[in-house]
Structure 1
Amino acid sequence: MPSAALPFSILFLLALPLLACTGIGLAGKRFNGPAGWGAATFTLVGLLFSAFYFSPDEIYAFRFDWITLGDIPFQLTFRLDKLGWLMLLLVHFVAFLVQLYSIAYMHHDAARFRYFAFIQLFIFSMLGIVLSGSLLLMYIFWELVGLSSYLLIGFWHHKPLAAWAAKKAFILNRIGDAAFLTGILLLMYQAGTSDFVALPTSLDTIPPNYLTIIGLCLFGGCVGKSAQFPLSDWLPDAMQGPTPVSALIHAATMVAAGIFLLARIAFMLTPTAQLVIALVGTFTMLHGAWKAMHVWDIKRVLAYSTISQLGLMVLAVGVGSWQVAMFHLLTHAFFKAGLFLSAGSVIHALTSSDPYSPFDPQNMRNMGGLRTLMPRTFVCYVVCAAALAGIPLFSGFLSKDAIFVVAFARAAEAGGLWYLFPLLAVLAAGLTAYYMVRQIWLIFMGEKRYTAEVNVQPHESPALMWVPMGLLAAGSLFFWFSPNPLDAFSGWFLGGLQYQPEVHASWVPLLSVIATGVALGLVYRQVRRVEGFFEKTIFEKYSDRHPVWQQTYGRFRTLAAHDETTQHRTFFLIAFQKIAIFCAQLDREVLDAVVNGLGRLTVVLAHLIAWTDRHITDGGVKVVVGATRGAGQVVRLFQNGKIQSYFLLTFVSMLLLLLWVMLL
């Protein structure tokens, strides 16, 4: 490609979704009907342009000066390499299918034009992250992704819970983004650049401890975007947005941006930073899997599953292999987007025709027996769930197996407690198989639990919905990624990145299969029980018998759940809420008491000063004035203009003088 054509081609790719967003937004409601088709067409053009205009074997880059602060010039750099090219295809492909699906899913919504305009803005922001050649430019698009997700999560802003979830996602992401920006500024101060090409040669001048701090600050951006502990709680609540939004930004693209960031900065992560990243990823992975086993909302199960899988990707980066993390990101995008769209199909089928019905179409306790009524959705769900559970012959097995291999290899190299990382990852894989089979059973198997609601008539979704689901399910099979169903390293993705582990243990896939088999056995055992999955767990029974446990848990929670009655005066960050309550009590009981006391003391002092002024100061002045006036009046008696008075005064004066002389 001629170098002169490069800026045009990349800017054209960015301009497509931006023009679509602007055009659809300005057209307004009169464009409601064709908005979905128009948005999908723009995305398809971008997909075809990315696939056939760029070569995965070439590196494209160009930069231009932005601003100069003092002697430091700031450049914005665009860069496209093989990893970026794959992400371009992934973002466009998933976004295209989601928009096709949304045409049918959102056809009753009165603000479809706004929905598709927001999706195009999101695509523009994601493409900017993928094409960024520097951390500075990536941060600009990073914030645009945060804005786009806020708009899409809160799309149904008339629902209080949706507005709450949008604010929660936005604020928690800002916390991570603040750390991200701090890392960028520290890096630019130390290295003088944030360019991905120039950074490797500039890191030698940075002390290792300082580099560790920078790496962890940059990782803070991933903690926010990719929902890692302790900023992971926004993702389940973000399911209040339309289900296709969940498939797009909370399964395949936005939450994957944090993993993409780690892949870009992997070369600057010190061993200490990698250890911290591995610890955070491991805890997030286990916490997400545990929560997914106990919730009843169909989308929240998948949301917690996404948190768990993102933790597994972060763990892969922590053990030193961003390549396998990106491979799992790729496979996860297909089967998790397929699961969300299939869940949307179930919700669509169970939505009551009565808008005032209390029936909840997302509660799995209201489902069951849908396998015969929704056969296409059932097949897509099972295939994608099998991939997520790590069943052999599916893509998820390949990518998870690759992570287990590199984790065990790193443990063999580092020794000691490092073996906990791969073992806990295998445990999380078993938990994943358990909660996914639990979900399939509750939705599609067993008795029909929705029959009490007469306005619910389950039916298969239209072709515009099940065709994207089918394509994503087909993309979850192993042969798209590797000819060997048991070896990911012989596939085109890791081979194209020229990555091979130093040791490939043949027993690792067997260990993964055993963990999955044990989980399936536990599922079968639970199904055979009288109450099945509706039976309370040991921890729930313990909490019922020991309410102190619940109270203790409540004290140590950091995030509050949404409450319709308190939403206008209760903040979801419990720590901030407690600080606010403490400050209010301090203001009311200490500061106000001091101010009121000082006020009362001032009033008393004012009265005392007023009495002193009135009786002492003014009294003294009045005495002097009275004495002077009296003396004047006495003198006036003698100064009356009569000669007799003057003679008498002279005689008395002489007499007094003589007496004084005689007495002396």
Structure 2
Amino acid sequence: MPFFDLAWLIPLLPLAAFVLITLVPPIGRSRKASYTTALVLLGLATVIAWGVLAQSISEGFPNAPLVAAASQESASEATAEGGHAETAIPTFGNFYAKSFAWAPDGSGFFKFGYRLDGATVLMLAMVTLAAWCIHLFSVGYMAHDEFPTGHQRQSRFFSYIALFTASMLGMTLADNLLLFFICWELMGLCSFLLIGFWFFKPSAREAAKKAFITTRIGDVGMMLGMMYIYNKAGSLTFGHEPGQIYNGEFLESIKTATSLIPGISAASLMAGLVFLGTVGKSAQFPLHVWLPDAMEGPTPVSALIHAATMVAAGVFLVIRTFPIFAVSEVLPVVAFIGAFTALFAALIAVAQYDIKRILAFSTLSQLGFMVAALGIGAWVAALFHLLTHAFFKALLFLGSGSVIHGMEATVGHDPDKAQDIRNMGTLRKFMPITFLTYMAGFFALIGIPPFAGFWSKDEIILDAFLHHHYVVYGVLTAAAFLTAFYMTRQIVVVFFGKFRGYEPRKLAHAAAHGHDDHGHGDHDDHHHHHEAHDPHESPRSMTIPLIILSLFAVFAGFVNAGFLGIHWFADYVNPGGLIPKPDFMVAGIATAVALVGAGLGYLTYRNAFKNANDRDPLAGALGPIWTLLENRFYIDQIYDKTFIALTYGAGQVMNWIDRHVVDRVVNLTGLLTLFIGRINFIIDDFSLNTVTDDIGEGTIMVGDGVRQSATGKIQDYGAYIFGGVVLLALIYMYAF
């Protein structure tokens, strides 16, 4: 079957689900009809996406592009150890593209279409499968979400996540930056709608606004970069052909051309502006603050944002425009921000208690790994980790949702109790499927062989070491150690030890963040009189996605298992590119670091939290440092006191100016205009109109008088002539 020609349906099918659920009342009013529509149409998209992958493997792509000359030169200069003199420009494999004329651009038509290459096809396969699993999980998770509008609100939820998925798929398929940006902005809208889905919670409303505004800051930079690229290239189309932005001549020209800012090349300004979009969307420091608060949305939304869509888009943006980054001087900045974010977020995660927020800071950290990899030129490793991370992070978030769902049987539907790990314990006995699948995600995240995360994270660390980026290597290794530590802390406290949910505590941030008692659903008043039961395993609609994703967490890394001589992934996405030689020492150190971190985490927390109100063992040992970590380095508070305070102050000033200056000027102008109008009325009415009327009336009177003289009698005319002669004679006699 020609799946390549059907690829355009992949984003349109979930988009159709959104339209049907939103606009067709019989579907929108039925919970079952809405989720069935979303599941079936996204399932078809998943089949097509995996069919495209299968066809590309079996037949190969037509119309193979030439490898960029700069890439060949870089490859020829590569050393035996795998280092290279300059960053190679990727080929992205062979591609298949279709487009159509969309709008006139002055010299021709701007074209829209879709492009299939190695990176695109693998992203399509990942996004569709992960999103389908999240959709299925949502059926069980949102089953009791009935307050205040019943099943129609669940239909709205499924319509939103369908649109979210369609936006990401459209962005992935886009063959040009403009269509990419349109879908990118649609994802921003969906994130706002879904993070604030429980809009009756003040914390959810604030988190939605925070996410939307923070990501818009980066999007402005991306839009400016896109406009600058179009100004220089005359095109925004991905590809190596003349007039496209991977073209060698264009890349060479922007590498040497100066930009609007002295001392900065055009390529560096383009890359820097585009990278701002990544900093916002992928939540890199300093625009990271929105992502932890995005946990206010339903857990499937968290999984979708952290795995298959939103944050993956930022990393994919740099990958998609990497040829421009490769000829710029921005990559060291990218590496610094990525490495700093990886360590910074890992430190914060150590001191969090909300099971979802721990995973949120873990996502921040892992995104830092990917961005750091891009900064050292290892875009293949970044893409590999992006794909494997999507599967095991979706698994972990859905697993946390399963834990929360099970905990609600004991603590009720208050998220500040159901999500606090201090209220948990020994859940492995109550929720065995959730526990086993969660452990697969845990081992993948901390990088234990042969789980997926080991192969992809090791690839990044190996690239940093082989290419002599020792600072990046050291920082990422430290972040990997902390990842193993805080994830082991979470595993031990949640699944082992004594169950503490019968006498739960409430998260300290509840009051600060405005949480109310309306958690994730079933919001009648029965939970106020809640009778505690043991936690329970989740229904099959929730455990089946966990099992599917756990298989990928275990086996997905083998597509690029260097130690086994398997380099299929690298060859598929970048044929002819350099493949780092596996290094047992680097891999051994990375594994040892993960094991030591996990061991320390176990030793520290194996006997911790006998009761939910016990203090964290590290809190006393670290003192003020722990307080600093628990409060996220006070970045939010700093922003509140600086940017937000300045913005609020500027708003107050503008309000004062509007009321006391602009309004008064406008009012004075109105009064002056009214006065001038009155004067004009007087002049017009009493002068112009009266004079004109009098002249007219005088003319009429004169005419009437003159007309009386025309009698037609000769004697009258004789008398007139005689009178005229006498009058002239008198004038002559006396005047002259």
**TM-score range normalised by the length of the shorter chain:** 0.7 to 0.9
Letter of the structure 1 residue corresponding to residue 266 of structure 2: Y
Letter of the structure 2 residue corresponding to residue 510 of structure 1: G
* Partner in structure 2 of residue 64 of structure 1: 100
Equivalents in 1 of 2:13, 2:413: separation in Å? 41
Asked if 1:335 is matched to 2:392, the reply is yes
Instruction: Work out which structure has the larger RCO, using CA pairs closer than 8 Å and 6 or more positions apart in sequence.
Output: 2
Mapped contact 1:179–1:221 kept (Cα < 8 A): yes
Aligned CA distance change for structure 1 residues 485 and 227 (closer, same or farther; 3 Å): same
* Partner in structure 1 of residue 47 of structure 2: 48
* Partner in structure 1 of residue 593 of structure 2: 515
Equivalents in 2 of 1:527, 1:394: separation in Å? 24
Equivalents in 2 of 1:552, 1:47: separation in Å? 38
CA drift of 1:588 comes to 7.5
Asked if 1:151 is matched to 2:193, the reply is yes
* Partner in structure 2 of residue 655 of structure 1: none
Asked if 1:481 is matched to 2:557, the reply is yes
Mapped contact 2:425–2:495 kept (Cα < 8 A): yes
Given candidates 393, 397, 420, the residue that maps to 1:363 is: 420
* Partner in structure 2 of residue 241 of structure 1: 297
CA drift of 1:592 comes to 8.0
Alignment of 1:344-359 (within 5 A): 344-352=401-409
CA drift of 1:11 comes to 3.5
Aligned CA distance change for structure 1 residues 152 and 539 (closer, same or farther; 3 Å): farther
CA drift of 1:250 comes to 1.9
Mapped contact 2:177–2:226 kept (Cα < 8 A): yes
Aligned CA distance change for structure 1 residues 186 and 465 (closer, same or farther; 3 Å): same
* Partner in structure 2 of residue 428 of structure 1: 479
CA drift of 1:375 comes to 1.0
Equivalents in 2 of 1:555, 1:473: separation in Å? 35
Task: Give a deviation string over 1:344-382, Cα, whole Å, max 9, x none.
Answer: 001001115786868610011111121111111111111
Equivalents in 1 of 2:631, 2:129: separation in Å? 47
Given candidates 572, 576, 594, the residue that maps to 2:644 is: 576
Equivalents in 1 of 2:280, 2:630: separation in Å? 28
Given candidates 461, 471, 479, the residue that maps to 2:538 is: 461
Q: How many residues align?
A: 570
Mapped contact 2:352–2:630 kept (Cα < 8 A): no
* Partner in structure 2 of residue 171 of structure 1: 213
**Percent same amino acid among aligned pairs?**
38
Equivalents in 2 of 1:193, 1:173: separation in Å? 25
Letter of the structure 2 residue corresponding to residue 238 of structure 1: A
Task: Give a deviation string over 1:479-517, Cα, whole Å, max 9, x none.
Answer: x43289673862432232334435443211111022112
Mapped contact 1:191–1:205 kept (Cα < 8 A): no
* Partner in structure 1 of residue 136 of structure 2: 100
Mapped contact 1:401–1:488 kept (Cα < 8 A): no
* Partner in structure 2 of residue 27 of structure 1: 24
* Partner in structure 2 of residue 265 of structure 1: 321
Equivalents in 1 of 2:625, 2:453: separation in Å? 35
Asked if 1:492 is matched to 2:568, the reply is yes
* Partner in structure 1 of residue 281 of structure 2: 225
* Partner in structure 1 of residue 518 of structure 2: none
Q: Which moved more, 1:196-205 or 1:178-187?
A: 196-205
* Partner in structure 2 of residue 641 of structure 1: none
Q: Which moved more, 1:68-77 or 1:431-440?
A: 68-77
Aligned CA distance change for structure 1 residues 261 and 577 (closer, same or farther; 3 Å): same
Given candidates 435, 438, 447, the residue that maps to 2:498 is: 447
Letter of the structure 2 residue corresponding to residue 31 of structure 1: S
CA drift of 1:586 comes to 10
Q: Which moved more, 1:533-542 or 1:500-509?
A: 533-542
CA drift of 1:287 comes to 1.1
The secondary structure found in structure 2 opposite 1:76 is strand
Equivalents in 1 of 2:497, 2:444: separation in Å? 23
Equivalents in 1 of 2:411, 2:500: separation in Å? 18
Mapped contact 1:153–1:242 kept (Cα < 8 A): yes
Aligned CA distance change for structure 1 residues 359 and 584 (closer, same or farther; 3 Å): closer
CA drift of 1:271 comes to 5.2
Q: Which moved more, 1:27-36 or 1:305-314?
A: 27-36
Given candidates 304, 312, 321, the residue that maps to 2:378 is: 321
Task: Give a deviation string over 1:19-41, Cα, whole Å, max 9, x none.
Answer: 11111112355221232122111
Equivalents in 2 of 1:551, 1:494: separation in Å? 40
Letter of the structure 2 residue corresponding to residue 450 of structure 1: G
Given candidates 12, 20, 35, the residue that maps to 2:9 is: 12
Equivalents in 2 of 1:383, 1:129: separation in Å? 30
Aligned CA distance change for structure 1 residues 534 and 396 (closer, same or farther; 3 Å): same
Mapped contact 1:324–1:402 kept (Cα < 8 A): yes
Letter of the structure 1 residue corresponding to residue 197 of structure 2: F
* Partner in structure 2 of residue 652 of structure 1: none
Equivalents in 1 of 2:19, 2:631: separation in Å? 50
Q: Which moved more, 1:202-211 or 1:318-327?
A: 202-211
* Partner in structure 2 of residue 657 of structure 1: none
Equivalents in 2 of 1:73, 1:105: separation in Å? 47
Alignment of 1:180-219 (within 5 A): 180-197=222-239, 198-201=244-247, 202-208=250-256, 209-219=265-275
Mapped contact 2:251–2:323 kept (Cα < 8 A): no
**Which TM-score applies when normalising by structure 2?**
0.72
CA drift of 1:316 comes to 0.7
Mapped contact 1:489–1:495 kept (Cα < 8 A): no
Equivalents in 1 of 2:564, 2:312: separation in Å? 20
CA drift of 1:74 comes to 2.5
* Partner in structure 1 of residue 548 of structure 2: 471
* Partner in structure 2 of residue 602 of structure 1: none
Mapped contact 1:369–1:446 kept (Cα < 8 A): yes
Given candidates 506, 516, 524, the residue that maps to 2:602 is: 524
Given candidates 135, 139, 147, the residue that maps to 2:181 is: 139
* Partner in structure 2 of residue 161 of structure 1: 203
Mapped contact 1:47–1:92 kept (Cα < 8 A): yes
Aligned CA distance change for structure 1 residues 175 and 484 (closer, same or farther; 3 Å): closer
Equivalents in 1 of 2:195, 2:345: separation in Å? 20
Aligned CA distance change for structure 1 residues 539 and 146 (closer, same or farther; 3 Å): farther
Given candidates 57, 76, 81, the residue that maps to 2:112 is: 76
Mapped contact 1:193–1:199 kept (Cα < 8 A): yes
The secondary structure found in structure 2 opposite 1:285 is helix
CA drift of 1:301 comes to 0.3
Task: Give a deviation string over 1:74-99, Cα, whole Å, max 9, x none.
Answer: 22232111221111111110111111
Cα RMSD, aligned residues only:
3.0
Equivalents in 2 of 1:357, 1:587: separation in Å? 40
Asked if 1:88 is matched to 2:124, the reply is yes
The secondary structure found in structure 1 opposite 2:419 is coil
Aligned CA distance change for structure 1 residues 588 and 464 (closer, same or farther; 3 Å): closer
Aligned CA distance change for structure 1 residues 67 and 296 (closer, same or farther; 3 Å): same
Structure 1: gaps of 5 or more residues: 412-417, 561-572, 597-664
Aligned CA distance change for structure 1 residues 87 and 211 (closer, same or farther; 3 Å): same
The secondary structure found in structure 2 opposite 1:77 is strand
* Partner in structure 1 of residue 679 of structure 2: none
CA drift of 1:64 comes to 2.2
* Partner in structure 2 of residue 656 of structure 1: none
* Partner in structure 2 of residue 395 of structure 1: 452
The secondary structure found in structure 2 opposite 1:391 is coil
Equivalents in 2 of 1:388, 1:359: separation in Å? 25
Aligned CA distance change for structure 1 residues 292 and 358 (closer, same or farther; 3 Å): closer
Asked if 1:541 is matched to 2:619, the reply is no
Q: Which moved more, 1:529-538 or 1:315-324?
A: 529-538
CA drift of 1:253 comes to 2.4
Structure 2: gaps of 5 or more residues: 62-94, 257-264, 505-530, 665-736
Task: Give a deviation string over 1:206-242, Cα, whole Å, max 9, x none.
Answer: 2441111101111111111111111111111001111
Asked if 1:386 is matched to 2:383, the reply is no
Letter of the structure 2 residue corresponding to residue 457 of structure 1: D
